[in-house]
Amino acid sequence: MKTLMVLRMRHFPKIVAIISLLGLCSCNFGYSVVQSQTPNNKISVVENPTLTGGENASVFLAALPENTTNRDLLVDSWQSYRQRFIQDDGRVIDYEASDRSTSEGQAYAMLRAVLINDLTTFERTLKWGENNLQRKENGKSVDSLWAWKWGRLADGSWGPIDKNFASDGDIDAVTALIFAYRKWKRPEYLELAKIKLRDLWEHSTIIGPKGKRYLLPGPDEAFVPNSSTLHLNPSYLAPYAFRIFAQVDKERDWLSLVESSYEILENSSKLSNVGLPSDWVALDIPTGKYQVLPQSSKIQTLYSFDAYRVWWRVALDAAWFDSEPARRYLKTSTKHLQKVWRQTSRLPARIDLQGKSLVDYEATSQYAMFYVAMRLIEPKLANEILRRKILPEYKQGIWDDYSAYYTQNLAWLGLLPAEAVSKELLQKN
């Protein structure tokens, strides 16, 4: 079981990213294994008998090509995740952070559900998000994006704790909606995706240096601290998703975000002496230069739990769209981790800009995301990581421990081969 320090550090960046607006809410990282507190303060058993059974397993297996590596494990872990982390009503529970729910969690569930052909879970998690995470002012919706954090309020009631959105969650949700439209032939999913794309473009993109458009991690009032600075999160950048968005939304130039994404990734990684991506970086608008956030900042420029997802997002662009910038970035920015692995057979969970390990512990979530990149450029190393660091952590349907919500998602998404996603889902309309 990972230490509580690991759990705290995983959630710290997103918790504090918007504290300038709403203040810091401290989280208690206790958890319940099979129960969670529902909004009416009654205890609800997370395990859902209506979603279990051998008939589901056969459907899920059929959704994955027969030659899919670890096919049975992917099905088993998805069924376990549904039973342990998703309530009957579709709420995804993060036991590591006071049983809260997040837009990220709902989106991961939607994406995983459509990839494994689980329409029931997709509908429930989408419905819960739409019913509970809508951003409102004076009781009226302000847009179609989701408040990123929902949980128990100070008065004991349940609802949005932080009404700002986090663009990574909305990007993953829209991607899942487009896939769902294509898989299940449900036009209402495409219509909702288009509405969300309009709002995501309006509220989470901004013109930066040289007139280029950049993806913000959330609303500009939270991530544009002054007229000359942007705060950016490289792990939110999803070039493959922007290419898919461009297929269905002709009114906005989503491909421009592909270009700026690789600019951010390549240039911000130069802040690290060993070329690693960071959780957070600053961009100076007048000069176009990337900067390290000050030590006093609540969000930090270092390689840690957010940055792991860069490997997965970039690798998908390489695998699905044969992106040369993606392959080039993976070959360049993974060199340090490859070297560390070959020297020590382990990777520290947090690394500073000088390439120095900041902690003694490891993270299965990092190994899973790094594995995706290595499958493309260093298959032998990928197999070593899978055999020595990922598969051994899987026991009784769970990676690491029974509260590790984040690890369950990254491990599953990392193990799902990119080629297991059908061309039907990636096709142009």
* CA-angle at 12, arms to 6 and 13, nearest 5°: 125
Distance CA 343, CA 13 (A): 30
| Torsion on CA atoms 307, 206, 268, 288, rounded to nearest 10 | -170
Residues 97, 401, 35, 167, CA torsion sign: positive
Provide the 8-state DSSP code for 36.
Answer: E
* CA-angle at 324, arms to 350 and 305, nearest 5°: 15
Active site annotation includes 188: no
- The secondary structure of 300-335 as a DSSP string is --SBSTTTHHHHHHHHHHHHHH--HHHHHHHHHHTH
Catalytic residue (choose from 99, 118, 162, 168): 168
| 193 touches 248 (CB < 8 A) | yes
Catalytic residue (choose from 99, 104, 249, 306): 104
Instruction: State residue 185 phi and psi, 5-degree precision.
Output: 55, 50
Distance CA 81, CA 294 (A): 38
Tally of residues, the chain: 429
- Number of neighbours of residue 199 by Cβ within 10 angstroms: 17
- Number of neighbours of residue 373 by Cβ within 10 angstroms: 27
| 220 touches 206 (CB < 8 A) | yes
Question: Is 278 exposed, middle or buried (CB count within 10 Å of its CB: 0-12, 13-18, 19+)?
Answer: buried
Active site annotation includes 168: yes
Distance CA 354, CA 378 (A): 24
Report H helices in 64-165.
71-85, 103-115, 119-132
Tokens of 267: 């240039």
Catalytic residues: 104, 168
